Chain A
Amino acid sequence: MFERNVMNLRLAQGLVLGVTLGLAVGVGAYTFVYARGYSYMTDNAEACVNCHIMQEQYSGWLKSSHRAVAVCNDCHTPPDLIGKYTTKAQNGFWHSYYFTTGWFDDNIQITPRGREVTEKACRNCHQEIVEAIEGPHAGASEWQTSCLRCHNSVGHLH
C-alpha cells in the first residue's frame, strides 16, 4: 500500500516536471525558429535585419563600396572563432534586451568595444596601407589614429 502511494507520487511528480519542462523547451524552440534564431549562426547579412532596427545600416551597406568584399560579420565580429561567437552572444543578448524593451535611442550608436572590433577589421584587411602610415606595431594601445574617424561611411552611411 505504502509503496504504491510512493509510486503514484513519483509518477505524478514526473508528469508535472515533464510537462512543464517540455512546455518551456517547446515554447523556447518554437520562438527560436519563429524568430529565425538559427540565422544568427550564419554570416548572412540579412540576419541582421530580422528585427528591423538595422534596416538603415543594411540598406546603406547594400549601396556601399564594401558590399562586394565584406558582410556585417567581417567588420563587426573578430575573425577568430571564439571571439566571433562571444561577440555574437554578447551583442545578441543586449540587442534582444534593448530592442524588446524599446529602451534605446533611435539613432543607434556603436559601443566602444564594437568600435574597436571594427577598427581592428579595417587594420586587418588594409594592413599594408596602415603600416605605410603608422609603421608596424603590436596592439590597440599603439594606434596613432583611427580609420573610422574619417572613413566612417565606407561600410554604410548611417
Chain B
Amino acid sequence: MTEENKSENAGNDLNAKTATTPRKRSWLRFWGVVALAVVATVLGLALLVNIFQRKQEERNPFFRVVELTDDTVDPAIWGKNFPLQYDDYLKTTDQVRTRYGGSEAEPRTPTQADPRSIVAQSRLEEDPRLKLMWAGYAFAKDFREERGHAYMLEDQMFTERQQVTQQPGTCINCHASVYVAYKQLGGGDIVKGFEQLNRTPYFEARKFVTHPVACIDCHDSQTMQLRVTRPAFMEGIRAFKASQGIQNYDVNKQATRQEMRAFVCGQCHDEYHFSGPEKRLVYPWAKGLQVENILAFYDEQKFKDWEHAETGAPVLKAQHPEFEMWNQGIHARSGVACADCHMPYKREGALKVSDHHVRSPLLNINRACQTCHRWSEDELKSRVETIQRRTYDLRNLAMDALIDLINDIKAAKGAGRTDTGVRTAQDFQRRAQFYLDFIESENSNGFHAPQEAARILGESINFSRKGQVALRGGV
C-alpha cells in the first residue's frame, strides 16, 4: 500500500465515522416519531371504542335473554336479563358496621342444630338489660344485630328463638320470597295462600320457600314496575287510609310511583302482630301510624305478646317500625322514599341503575345524601352520628328507668302486694316498654325521625317513673 492510499483510507474511515452519527440520529428521530404516532393511534382508537361503547349502552338499556313469568322465583334467572341489578343484590351478604348499627361478622363453631359458621354480634351480650326487658319471651334467649337481606331466611331458621318456642309459618311472610308460594298454596289467590301459610307451623311452611326476598317480591315480571305482594301490607295500608277518610284503598292501583318506592319496603319493615288463633299477620295501623295509635289499637284488642316473667305485666314486643318512623320524619315529609337513600341511583357506564345493594346510607354517603345535601361526606356523617348518639343516650336513660320499674314491681310482688298500685305499675310497664322498644328495635337509631324518637323515649321515661310513683301510693 502506498502512502497516498493509506491517507485516503484514513480519510474514508474518518468520513464513515462522521457520516454514521447523523444517520443514526435521524433513524432514532424517525422511529421516535413513528412510535409516538403509533401510541397516539392506539390511544385514539381506545377512546373511540370507549365512546362507541357508551353510545351503545345509552341505546340498549337491556337485553332480554330469558323469558320471565309471574312464577319465576329464582333471582339468578332474573339476573340474566338484569345483570347489573343482580350483581348488586348479591352484595347484601356484606357485613359492615356503622357507628351505631350494622352487623359485625362473628365466627362460630357450626353445630348440628345451627350450621352457620358466621353470625352477627349478640345484642343481648352488648346490653344485658334487654334480657330483663324481655324476660319470659324468646327474644331474651337470642337476639342479634340484623344482617343483610341475603341472610333473612337462614338467620330466621337458625335463631335459638326457634328452640324455645313453636313459631308459626307467619314469620315466613317476611323472611323469604313468598309470592309464588302464596299463589301455589292458594290456588292462584295470594290472600288464600297467605292465610294457609300463617296457619302452618314454621318448619312445615319453610318447605314451601327457597329464596330470601327476591326480584318478584317487589317487581312485576313483565313490566318491572313496583308492586306490593304482601296481603298484610295491602290490608294494613287500607285500614290506615280508612282512618284518614279514604275508603277501599288499593295500594297497587292508587299509589304513585314514588310512594311505591317506600311501600315495597314497608311490606316488611314495620310493626306487626299475629292476630287470633289463625295467626294472621296484621299491621296495627287502623288508628294511625304513630306509637300511641298503635298502642291504642293493641289496648282495644286486649292484645299482649307475653306475660312478663318477673312482673306479670301483659307486655308487647315492638318490631322494627322503620316504615312508621320514617313516616314521622322530614324525609318522608319532603317526598324522599326509602329507595332514594337505601338504593340510590348509580352509574354503570352510560346507564343509570338503582343500587340493589340495599344498605345503610352511611356506607354510601355520596350517592345517598349528596344528591340533595351539598356538604362534605365528613360533615354529613357527623350530622347523622350526632342524631344517633343523642338517641342512643336517651335510649339508655329510658332503659335504666324501665329496669328500675321492673325491679320495683318485682320487689312489691315479692312482698305479697296485689293492690291497684301494682296493677297500675304493670300497665305503666307495658307502655314504657313498648315505647322504648319502638325505638330500640327501629333500625335507624332515631335518624328516620329524630324529634319523634326523642319524644317517644321521653314519654317512655315518664311512664317508667310514673309506674314507680304508683307503687309508692301516688298517681
Residue numbers of A with Cβ under 8 A of B are 13, 16-17, 20-21, 23-24, 27-28, 30-31, 34-35, 51-53, 100, 102, 105-107, 109, 152, 158
Whether B37 pairs with A35 at a CB distance below 8 angstroms is no
Query: Is A20's CB under 8 angstroms from B350's CB?
Result: no
Determine which of B34, B44, B349, B374 lies in contact with A27 in the assembled complex, contact meaning CB atoms within 8 Å. B44
List residues 344-400 of chain B with CB under 8 A from any CB of chain A: 344-347, 349-350, 366-367, 370-371, 374
Given that A20-B37, A107-B366 are known contacts, is A31 also in contact with B48, CB under 8 Å in the complex?
yes
> 1/0 per residue B73-114: CB within 8 Å of A?
000000000000000000000000000000000000000000
A selection of 20 A-B contacts at a CB cut-off of 8 Å is: A13-B30, A17-B30, A17-B33, A17-B34, A23-B37, A24-B37, A24-B41, A24-B44, A27-B40, A27-B44, A31-B47, A31-B48, A34-B48, A35-B48, A51-B54, A52-B54, A105-B366, A105-B370, A106-B367, A107-B367
Give A152 to B345 CA distance when docked, in angstroms.
22
- B54 CB, min distance to chain A CBs, angstroms: 7
B255 part of interface (Cβ distance < 8 Å): no
Residues of chain B within 8 A (CB-CB) of A152 are: 374
B344 surroundings in chain A (CB, below 8 A):
106
Report A-chain residues with C-beta under 8 Å of the C-beta of B350: 51-52
- Show the binding face of B for A, using Cβ within 8 Å: 30, 33-34, 37-38, 40-41, 44-45, 47-48, 50-52, 54, 58, 344-347, 349-350, 366-367, 370-371, 374
Besides the known contacts A28-B40, A106-B366, A107-B371, 17 further A-B residue pairs in the complex with CB atoms under 8 A apart: A16-B30, A20-B41, A21-B37, A24-B41, A24-B44, A27-B40, A28-B44, A30-B48, A51-B54, A52-B54, A52-B58, A100-B47, A100-B50, A106-B346, A106-B347, A107-B367, A107-B370
Count of A-B residue pairs with CB < 8 Å: 65
Contacts known (A17-B30, A35-B51); A27 close to B41, Cβ less than 8 A: yes
Residues of B contacting A106 with CB < 8 Å? 344-347, 366-367
Q: Which of A21, A31, A51, A158 contacts B371 (CB 8 A)?
A: A158
The residue that A20 contacts in the complex, of B34, B47, B349, B367, with Cβ under 8 A, is B34
